[in-house]
Structure 1
Amino acid sequence: MSGSGPRAVRDGLPEALLGKVRSLLRKAENAGATEEEARVYLAKATELMAKYGIEQAMLDDVTEPERPADRIVDLYPPYVKEGRRLLARIGYEMRCRSVYPGGKANRHRVHLFGFEADIQATEVLFASLRLQMLADADRADRLHRPEGEDTRAYKRSWMLGFIREVTARIGAAQQAARAAAEQRTEAEGEGRDGRSVALVLADRTTVVEARLAARYPKLNKTRPTKFTGTGYRQGVADGRDADIGGPAFDEEGQAPQLAF
């Protein structure tokens, strides 16, 4: 759908939608919720944000240079590295890109780039899933850690499995919302300037990546994460229910690093 003139910069997710999403996520985080209930609550919250994000993309004029945004997100112990990874992976599935700025002063930070609604959706999901990740890692440690294995190593490996699985589920929700939008635009002929959903989303990604590249013209790729614990497979299994061996972990690099 073509705009007739410049659009005002939007403030992110509408309050009504944000209220619904936060309500669903609170229910998912509730200790009294069953695993199936928690999974359903997360799926619905993710579906709502994915649908809104894609519908907004089809309405927005992505040629406006002011529209992409960026935000520094500070993370706090415990398990900051795993938190950074969770945030970066959620952001990637929500069409954002992120950088670990590098250096001691920034070792607990992630720099997110994206459109405002997508950044906000990323932060909302991250806040909920981080709580679930920490609580479920404690539970998995109590129930499944082999006798004699280091608790921290087990939890770290579990978290990697959890992050992989839960962000894959977020990605699947995005794909479903995109497929539904494509069917709708084909049936109703509402594609902006006749362009497909895929092309509009690709254009937005290009704009976001250009802003990131302008801010960080020289980036190091992140090194593969290595772990010693045996909790990875259990983390994957538990990640399916979340609301949505080698050397020890690498140390932080000093130069900015591309996360996702």
Structure 2
Amino acid sequence: MGLDKLDTIRKLLAKAERAATGAEAETYTAKAIELMARHGVDAALLAAARPGSDRIGPQRIEMQDPYSAGKARLLGWTAAALGCRWVLHGARGGKVAAVTVFGHTSDRQRAELLYTSLQLQATTQLVRVRSTRPGESVAAYRRSWLHGFAVEVHRRLSTAEERAATDAPATATGGPSVALVLADRREQVDRAYAAAFPRLATARRAVLSGSGFAAGAMAGERADLGHGGGLGSQQRSALGGC
């Protein structure tokens, strides 16, 4: 993705973060989602025409408490919706030390840019949310809220990516279709991921006791989008993501 396009999306994200009303934020959100997905398709087509220009590789992003495990899932599911794979590091006791996002450079850029904004949006809301159920732990409620937020973000991003691929104009005569380009791109990432992390197992599904999932999902539906565990071979604390 070109620097000018990244800058446009950053500006939309910043406007949504500063919006005075939910309706205003959603206006910026809708445009940002559209741009993020469309530029992802553009980058894929450009890379197909210029092999080697959009390299596959890892990017490690540190997680911070509180709720580092929830933040890690938010990053991982965001990255997965944008064509990347992910690995958890130091996942134990409900905490995660870091996440490695693995994929094409342009998709890793999209994932990091979007996650940075989503984390800010979620954190800003987390400090205010509380359960209405008597006696429920604030921490448990917030963990489930963040889980719901991440699930809804993933759904919206996946839908936007699929729509952008469907709406993209056909490639030139004789060239591969958009669908074939994107499928080949995913296969390239899967092969490179398997070679880089040959002994990862699937991470355990998160089990959360709080009742904040629905409220978090509603917040994820409104969020500006800018448009699992076995031992690894090199780091024993690394857990495989999806």
Range of TM-score over shorter length: 0.7 to 0.9
Q: CA deviation at 1:91?
A: 0.3
Instruction: Find out whether 1:128 has 2:117 as its counterpart.
Output: yes
Cα distance change of structure 1 residues 229 and 53 upon mapping to structure 2, 3 Å threshold: same
Counterpart-to-counterpart distance in 2, 1:255 and 1:76:
16
Instruction: Find out whether 1:84 has 2:72 as its counterpart.
Output: yes
Match of 1:166 among 150, 153, 165: 153
Give yes or no for contact 2:88–2:240 (8 Å, CA) kept in 1. Answer: yes
- Larger-gyration structure (1/2): 1
- 1:235 is aligned to 216
Unpaired segments of 5 or more residues in structure 1?
1-12, 245-249
Counterpart-to-counterpart distance in 2, 1:180 and 1:161:
29
Using the size of structure 1 for normalisation, the TM-score is: 0.82
Match of 1:207 among 183, 188, 196: 188
Show CA shifts across 1:215-257 (max 9, x none): 110111011100111111111122212222xxxxx99975532
Counterpart-to-counterpart distance in 2, 1:256 and 1:100:
5
Counterpart-to-counterpart distance in 2, 1:154 and 1:175:
32
Q: In the alignment, residue 22 of structure 1 is paired with which amino acid? A: R
Show CA shifts across 1:71-90 (max 9, x none): 11111122110111000000
CA RMSD, aligned part only? 2.4
Number of residues paired by the alignment? 233
**Following superposition, which runs of at least 4 residues in structure 1 exceed 4 angstroms of deviation?**
250-255
- 1:218 is aligned to 199
Counterpart-to-counterpart distance in 2, 1:124 and 1:215:
24
Matched ranges for 1:130-209 at <5 A: 130-141=119-130, 144-181=131-168, 184-185=169-170, 189-190=171-172, 193-209=174-190
Q: CA deviation at 1:63?
A: 5.4
Give yes or no for contact 1:97–1:259 (8 Å, CA) kept in 2. Answer: yes
SS in 1 for 2:58: strand
Instruction: Find out whether 1:100 has 2:81 as its counterpart.
Output: no
- 1:48 is aligned to 35
Cα distance change of structure 1 residues 19 and 65 upon mapping to structure 2, 3 Å threshold: closer
SS in 1 for 2:59: strand
Unpaired segments of 5 or more residues in structure 2?
none
- 2:240 is aligned to 258
Q: CA deviation at 1:43?
A: 2.5
SS in 2 for 1:112: strand
Counterpart-to-counterpart distance in 2, 1:195 and 1:134:
42
Show CA shifts across 1:141-160 (max 9, x none): 2xx44232111000001111
- 1:27 is aligned to 15
Using the size of structure 2 for normalisation, the TM-score is: 0.87
Q: In the alignment, residue 256 of structure 1 is paired with which amino acid? A: A
